[in-house]
Structure 1
């Protein structure tokens, strides 16, 4: 919690000295070295303490404050400052003593109590922290949230929920408090109470979309799909423009064999600006899977593909489309989407590898050679790129170049017998192309030896 501590030197002066005395003191004057002037000496030591604390010389600040106390031990601000310096030095025992002394002099000072609370919190002395923060809750509602969090730490879940309910009644719900509330429900297994709380929110505030969404999620989590579906439809009824609800609806429609509405919901999700890319990717994967099993809806996928690709900057989305077309053996289309993905993630080696392998499959050897050569400039220790480059060069009858690149690539193979055998086969092929049959046989034999089981 952000502290509300803005104690200026001027305020310290007001706290320490009567106004009449302040009026008589020239703060710009050099302090008198005569220690008989107690007021000047006290003032000089106190500001010395503040100055040393500001430059993190906490030990020196403490010495100055203790001298102040020797002069006048009745000022609560001295013990407060002493406690703060001890806290900075992690001397929590001394900090507690000093701060309790400050509180004993001025029991209702928020700043003193807050610093004492922080000292207990740093020591993880939660029982004392709770006792102290109970005195603070009357000053600011943020302290109530700290109190609830402390109750959770001490597993006093009943009191924690009571505090959270009080804050929600006073201020309305918040995401941060809901996270703490859900932590309690998860720790205690109070699923029914969790759902009841959300049902009450929906009833009390029927226009709040987030309450419906949270309730849908919890129903689904508890495998109560019927209530989840009913709640989703109710949200859509009261808020037809809701986009987030379709993250749940499309699944319910699919399970209900309502393909038309499922596709409609998936389209809403995939073009939504409110929904995060990770969630869209999951829906897209489900859409692709659905069309794979129901090819009669492929036109819908083509339509949504064009809409999504116009706006997306997410490589994973393009990879999903590429893999869909790859599964359909449409390799040209797969390369198209892998290339779009590569534009978003140019450092992604996996995407590059897939592209050059597809060019080999399509007998597009010039493209495979060019892209694998460029790839080797980025990834000079990837043996698979040397192999692809060698395959392409062999197919282009550039045998010497193929041998050169393949021999370099061999040095990067680590305990991969199959890959090594593939290299030897390609080197053998290159030597065959050069009509060096003796060398060709040598490498062919090496490949066969690796492929022969021991």
Structure 2
């Protein structure tokens, strides 16, 4: 029953997909053909969802045979070939999609993924120059590509142009210093900067460049030593706050440490690696002292636009590992506000609620998310587990049986499904099915240990 409802919902969504809507002069004559197209397209999406990319490709090729001028189909074909790392075929598919509709940004994105994954940076440059027409943020990618291909003059020209118009990130500042530093035919740059600091200890820029160099080389301790010298020479410097933060933290002065931390996080001059390290050190202090939770929460807001790390998710995992599930749930929920479809965060949040015994919350969230991710097996597992705990054994069985169909190459999850089904049948007094599922779980466990 449940599985049929889910398939029905997916099919209705498919019928509403714009790529399936075309000029239909005589619906009666082509109804069967449309049904065939929709069936193949739906099957391709289903196979892609369970990572059967070869089958997904075969189905989408059937669609292309019926609609050879549909650019979106070639894009879908390209994504499947890309998942298989069949880069030549992926490139051909994306090229065809672009040929049919060059104004669709996502087709160019797909082609960029192919070139970037194959490290064809020169071809990537051509594609990114086109992507910049859609989104200026790709200028950062273009600078990086110029650096990879050692086109330093072009990189510096673009960095300086961005500096005048939109501002640049700490990474681009680092690139700029590398380019300028490499052009100096004097001493090695670190020695050059150390000497410059000795000659003019009030010039903040020399400290900053040296901190960037150490940070780039993952030498954070060295970077913090330079920040300490900066604090002594220029106490009101943003970078001086880094060493001030460590000093106050070491003295267990959370109030003054948090004040210094916020100055660091607000600064546009300080490298993101240093900011992350400051936050991590403050997190450990908060956990050990069990204080300053509000300040920690405020600090994470400075990382909401950080595309590289989901900070709230990482803090949630940290607290979950420390058995502080209420704190973990708070940060995982906060993480989902910025990354709504992050299925890994959703799973961790469900587990945190299980650990806290919030079974009604687990039931509601898992069943709601099944509507969004109808082929994700773990959501059915969490729904079944919660329903078992709530003594709703019949509904638990329905979700667990439906979810079993989506388990692929995951023996641990399959074992857990059988255990929960055994619990469900036990709750209903069905001894035969209870024993069957517990026995199956035991057999799978023995196979896994071999």
1:353 corresponds to which residue?
347
SS at structure 2 position matched to 1:397: coil
CA contact (8 A) 1:271 1:308 kept: no
SS at structure 2 position matched to 1:241: coil
In the alignment, which of 390, 395, 401 is matched to residue 395 of structure 2? 401
1:16 corresponds to which residue?
none
Q: Alpha-carbon deviation of 1:418? A: 2.1
Q: Alpha-carbon deviation of 1:370? A: 0.7
- Aligned CA-pair RMSD: 3.9
1:198 corresponds to which residue?
193
Cα separation, 2, equivalents of 1:289 and 1:216? 24
1:446 corresponds to which residue?
440
SS at structure 2 position matched to 1:363: coil
Q: Relative to structure 1, is the Cα distance of residues 427 and 219 closer, same or farther in structure 2, using a 3 angstrom cutoff?
A: closer
Q: How does 1:18-167 map to 2 (within 5 A)?
A: none
**How many aligned positions are there?**
275
Is 1:280 equivalent to 2:299 in the alignment? no
Is 1:316 equivalent to 2:310 in the alignment? yes
Q: Alpha-carbon deviation of 1:381? A: 2.0
2:378 corresponds to which residue?
384
Q: Alpha-carbon deviation of 1:388? A: 0.6
1:116 corresponds to which residue?
none
2:24 corresponds to which residue?
none
CA contact (8 A) 2:394 2:424 kept: yes
Cα separation, 2, equivalents of 1:360 and 1:251? 37
SS at structure 2 position matched to 1:346: coil
2:129 corresponds to which residue?
none
1:307 corresponds to which residue?
298
Q: Alpha-carbon deviation of 1:424? A: 1.1
In the alignment, which of 338, 358, 364 is matched to residue 370 of structure 1? 364
Cα separation, 2, equivalents of 1:424 and 1:224? 48
Name the TM-score, length of structure 2 as normaliser.
0.51
Q: Relative to structure 1, is the Cα distance of residues 303 and 208 closer, same or farther in structure 2, using a 3 angstrom cutoff?
A: farther
CA contact (8 A) 1:376 1:386 kept: yes
CA contact (8 A) 2:238 2:264 kept: yes
Cα separation, 1, equivalents of 2:352 and 2:219? 43
- Could you tell me which runs of 5 or more consecutive residues in structure 2 were left unpaired when the two chains were aligned: 1-121, 123-146, 152-172
Cα separation, 1, equivalents of 2:262 and 2:193? 28
Q: How does 1:416-435 map to 2 (within 5 A)?
A: 416-435=410-429
Cα separation, 2, equivalents of 1:290 and 1:274? 25
SS at structure 2 position matched to 1:430: helix
1:328 corresponds to which residue?
322
Q: Alpha-carbon deviation of 1:284? A: 1.3
SS at structure 1 position matched to 2:375: coil
Q: Alpha-carbon deviation of 1:386? A: 0.9
Q: Alpha-carbon deviation of 1:371? A: 0.3
Cα separation, 2, equivalents of 1:445 and 1:266? 56
Q: Alpha-carbon deviation of 1:286? A: 2.6
Cα separation, 1, equivalents of 2:361 and 2:299? 28
